[in-house]
Structure 1
Amino acid sequence: MYPPHADWRDMLQVCEELDDHTLQVLTPKYLGELPNTYVFTKQLAEHVVYEYKGKLPIVIVRPSIVISSLIEPFPGWIDNFNGPVGISIACGKGILRTIYSSPDIVSDYIPVDVAIKSFIAASWIRGTKKLEPTDDIAIYNSCAGNLFTLSLNELVVIGKELVKILPFNNMLWTCDTTLTKSLFLFNIRVLFFHLLPAIFIDTLLWILGKKPM
């Protein structure tokens, strides 16, 4: 368990008493080196739970980047467009043409059904042991680790091949996403492949009397 970045009780009080503008100003100060409020609130939640060690049979499971299912309820099932799923769909529909990133970056993905099975297994391990007042809370990382790695470039290549076999409905353009570490090239590609086509399509819709996208 990592040291708390803030006291969860203080945070509740701050959120309940301050207006939205003040909260926006204070948020970066509270986050510090954390990238966003998502991981900040997850850490607060862990400390809420941790106060009940030795009182309740608790485990904490930390999944990595949760993606679509491996097997259950059927392969590829997902109910949101968060994280890499949204990026993949935007690429597949031909909307996202360029990404500013290193192609060699490796992210840790875990299928949602695999993550849920790990929750069940961890709960079973805890549930089969007698609860003692001196018990600590077991913490598990549900992730792929070194068992299976995938670079961003490999993800894009696989995605392009899959779109050829199973193209999306209502595609706006062919799937041809490129990765670049050059900010200059990225901005050039955004201008010619994102901004100008968007203006062209919206102008066309406006001429036809339809709502611009």
Structure 2
Amino acid sequence: MSPLQSLLGHFMMTPKDSIPEFYNGQTVFITGATGFMGKVLMEKLLRSCPGIRRIYILIRPKRGKNIYERLEGLLQCPLYERVKNECPNFKNKVMPILGDILQEDMGISQSDIQLLVDETTVVFHSAATVKFNEELKLSIDLNVLGCQKILNLCKKMRKLQALVHISTAYANCHLDEIDEKIYDPPLDPHQLISATKWMDSEMFSLLTAKLVGCRPNTYTYTKAIAESLFMEDCGVLPIAIVRPSIVGATWKEPVAGWVDNFNGPSGLYSAIGHGLLRVMKGDRHAIADLIPCDIAVKAIIAVAWHTAVEKTSELKIYNCTSGHENKCTWGFLEKISAETMRKFPLNRLIRVPQLKFTKSSVWYYVNLVLDHTMPAYFRDSLMWITGRKPMFVKINNRIHNSAASLEYFTSNSWHFCNDNLYHLLDKLSSDDRENFNFDPSSFEWPKFAEVYALGTKQYLHKEELSDLPQARAALKRLQRVNFMANILIIIVVWRLLINRVAVARSVWQFLIGWVLKILQKIPGIAKSS
């Protein structure tokens, strides 16, 4: 496009053709704003849509802090440094709403409900439990009943233009191919909601396996039911659902590699970096469908814009996934994650970073015992002897419980259709395409692995990048110790075999004789001998 065409296009655009122009004067309500994706969503709205009027966020007191103290702490994190420089008064646009998704009417006061009803034009519903094996009753309360409460509130909103629900691409992971549509739920959502009124947590726990059925966990089970609830109860509300796959650190915005919790891939990346996770059950040839958080957030913002502008009665689904357009296997991720964690090592290494995926249960458990359990008990024994509190067995168990919860996803592949996502991308103006580019093929896996490693070090573990030379020196020492330990183990095992097996003794004598013959052919050594 020529500069003249670009200029003419800019002046010919109506306000609704541009995402930032659409958000001018809008009042947004966000649930889950204190979560990982919610923080990135709020930052992107404040920075890239500076004309936004107000952002209300649902927040509850926690750990002795009231909602205003929590909001101030939230806005002080490194994620908001860029918007602080570009939009110094951004804090004035964010207002907390006291509430809790688990309570009736989300615990929001009548005055605040009226405020939201009168002013809100765009709603992003991100609040949910992301624990895969959360207790079923709590998972229903958060992921299903929470959606019903949002729907009830939105039906009262007089100016609502868009409601975007953040689901997951794995809501229907019992299928191999997943289209951008609502599938039949495993159970009618209203029957499940009715059951919560008379069944307690203990009874739900007893029925969990039966209810969840072929689904891998309570998270995907309740997410599928929540989608069906939106379809059944949305009425004439302007609703869209975005389904990100496995959400990882940010790719570029507002900073590369930002992550603030140990959930999902970030916790595993940390465990690999420390040398604590070295084997996982999984198929090296299966697709690792990760999506950077900032790419998913850009799609969510654009979906709200398009839902408001199009004004269709159809509930659209957007699969925000990378596997089809930007393919990466767990085997490739195994390779580049270990390489980048050795290139940008963490300060407190336990072992040399290394990861192996295997489909063999036998080989997995052999590695688990020899490479994880036994070293953990050995280290705890040393700590006990030196008067320190043992911790490695506990850490080892926690890491492998977390890794086991991902086994279903590292052992299978899915084909996600994302036509709606790409059709939406085509509707963006050239400026919006640059500022809100959510193309899943736009990031590079090796570079993303490096960004993730640096982000894990800098943001997750609060380590300075200036510490890298010392960390690399420590890694080299650990590699030498690891090499010497492996040689020692080989020698010990081999000597034990020699003392007991005649064939091994013969092989040993042959190898020694062969090495001596080679050494004698070397001029310097031959003369000295």
How does the TM-score come out when normalised to structure 1? Answer: 0.91
DSSP 3-state at the match of 1:141: strand
Give the AA of the match of 1:190: L
Q: Please list, as runs of the form range in 1=range in 2, the aligned pairs for 1:24-39 lying within 5 A after superposition.
A: 24-39=205-220
Of 194, 197, 206 in structure 1, the residue corresponding to residue 384 of structure 2 is: 206
Higher CA-based Rg = 2
- Give 1:15 shift: 3.3
Who is 1:78 aligned against? 259
- Give 1:196 shift: 0.7
Who is 2:45 aligned against? none
User: In 2, Cα distance between the equivalents of 1:39 and 1:100?
Assistant: 20
Within the alignment, does 1:197 sit opposite 2:375 as a pair? yes
User: In 2, Cα distance between the equivalents of 1:182 and 1:197?
Assistant: 22
Aligned residues of 2:247 and 2:292 also touching (Cα < 8 A): yes
Q: Please list, as runs of the form range in 1=range in 2, the aligned pairs for 1:141-152 lying within 5 A after superposition.
A: 141-152=319-330
Q: Given the superposition, is the C-alpha separation of residues 16 and 204 from structure 1 closer, same or farther in structure 2, using an over 3 Å criterion?
A: farther
Q: Please list, as runs of the form range in 1=range in 2, the aligned pairs for 1:122-201 lying within 5 A after superposition.
A: 122-130=303-311, 135-201=313-379
Per-residue Cα deviation, 1:4-62 (whole angstroms, up to 9, x for no partner): 22122332343343333321110111112111110111112212222344521111111
Structure 2 runs not aligned, ≥5 long: 1-181, 392-529
User: In 2, Cα distance between the equivalents of 1:100 and 1:32?
Assistant: 22
- Give 1:176 shift: 2.2
Who is 1:18 aligned against? 199
Who is 1:87 aligned against? 268
Who is 2:28 aligned against? none
- Give 1:75 shift: 0.9
User: In 1, Cα distance between the equivalents of 2:233 and 2:359?
Assistant: 46
DSSP 3-state at the match of 2:243: strand
Per-residue Cα deviation, 1:74-111 (whole angstroms, up to 9, x for no partner): 11112222222222221111001212222111121111
Q: Given the superposition, is the C-alpha separation of residues 170 and 16 from structure 1 closer, same or farther in structure 2, using an over 3 Å criterion?
A: farther
User: In 1, Cα distance between the equivalents of 2:236 and 2:359?
Assistant: 50
User: In 1, Cα distance between the equivalents of 2:198 and 2:233?
Assistant: 27
- Give 1:164 shift: 2.1
Which structure exhibits the higher relative contact order, with contacts defined as CA atoms closer than 8 Å and separated by 6 or more residues?
A: 1
Q: Given the superposition, is the C-alpha separation of residues 185 and 129 from structure 1 closer, same or farther in structure 2, using an over 3 Å criterion?
A: closer
Aligned residues of 1:53 and 1:136 also touching (Cα < 8 A): no
Q: Given the superposition, is the C-alpha separation of residues 192 and 145 from structure 1 closer, same or farther in structure 2, using an over 3 Å criterion?
A: closer
DSSP 3-state at the match of 1:66: strand
Within the alignment, does 1:56 sit opposite 2:234 as a pair? no
* Identity within the alignment, %: 37
Of 294, 304, 320 in structure 2, the residue corresponding to residue 113 of structure 1 is: 294
User: In 1, Cα distance between the equivalents of 2:230 and 2:210?
Assistant: 24
Aligned-CA RMSD value: 1.7
Structure with the higher fraction of residues in helix conformation? 2
Aligned residues of 1:92 and 1:163 also touching (Cα < 8 A): yes
